[in-house]
Amino acid sequence: MNKTFRNVLLALCLPFGLSAGHATGSGSTPLPDPAELQLASVHAAVAPLDSGGMLYAKFADRSVAIASITKLMTAMVVLDSGQPLDEWLPILKRQDNPPKNSFSRLRPGSEARRGDLLGITLMSSENLAAYVLARHHPGGREAFIAAMNDKARALDMHQTRFVDPSGLWPENRASAGDLLKMVRAAYAYPEIREMSTGTSRRVHFRGPRYSLDFGNTNALVHSSRWDLKLSKTGYINEAGRCLVMVADVGGEPLAMVLLDSFGTRTPLGDAGRIRRWLETGSGGAVAGAALDYERRRAAALAGADTVGGQ
């Protein structure tokens, strides 16, 4: 295990205080200096998977749109239902009139296995697949969404609300701190760990018979430098680029929640900066356009705080 990261874990075993963007240890081993970590993501939470404490937090208590990060909760509700993953489900036309583009290559009227639909919901963020899973839940889509919110309450995710299973609605909201709880819960499901980190998946359909290939929306699954244990990306305009994942860092699983950044690869860069910060104490630099976006969004949050405090 990397010595710096091992010392961080030892420090986390002791009580410490944490505020947005800051982490301080009370032991003889200090945590890495948060001032040395600059992220393009507006909201962030970073913690060892098995520890109750956070290494780093940035606006982590704000409830914001989370886009397809939603689908981790969708997967847990599907698996909690106990319905067989090998059951064939009809692909249904959407009846919920989503506010965002919901293009899908799935053909309504054909059938796919529940496990395959769950796999492409997690790995490829397939929105129609998430919708079909919810429609085939006992009690239908409304019961499914109720189960999502019940699960959030059971996990003490008090800044979280779900209105759909895919994340196309910006009303699906949570804080980075809440999502850290959701990631820890999702990690307990072997199916979610395996499905969310696969590089590709071929799904076979019937009635009519056809096959489709799907890839992972997180490019880091293809990198030899990363050992991912869980992954989910998300994007709608209101949420920005989002990424949650668990990765092996220094021989230990580390959970990262990164919300609202600019550019497809910006959250991936933030993940690299976090790992570098833990291993060396220095996080590196953020590209200009991504940094400008972060500063504008952070300034807007600070302005809202000022107005709210008057």
With 0-12 / 13-18 / 19 or more C-beta atoms within 10 angstroms meaning exposed / middle / buried, residue 290 is buried
Compute how many other C-beta atoms are within 10 angstroms of the C-beta atom of residue 277: 24
Tell me the residue type at 51. S
| Catalytic (active-site) positions | 68, 71, 125
Q: Would you say 113 and 133 are in contact if contact means Cβ atoms under 8 Å apart? A: no
Q: Would you say 214 and 201 are in contact if contact means Cβ atoms under 8 Å apart? A: yes
* Bond preceding residue 208 cis, omega within 30 of 0: yes
Q: Would you say 186 and 211 are in contact if contact means Cβ atoms under 8 Å apart? A: no
Tell me the residue type at 259. L
- Rounded distance between C-alpha atoms, residue 234 and residue 168, angstroms: 10
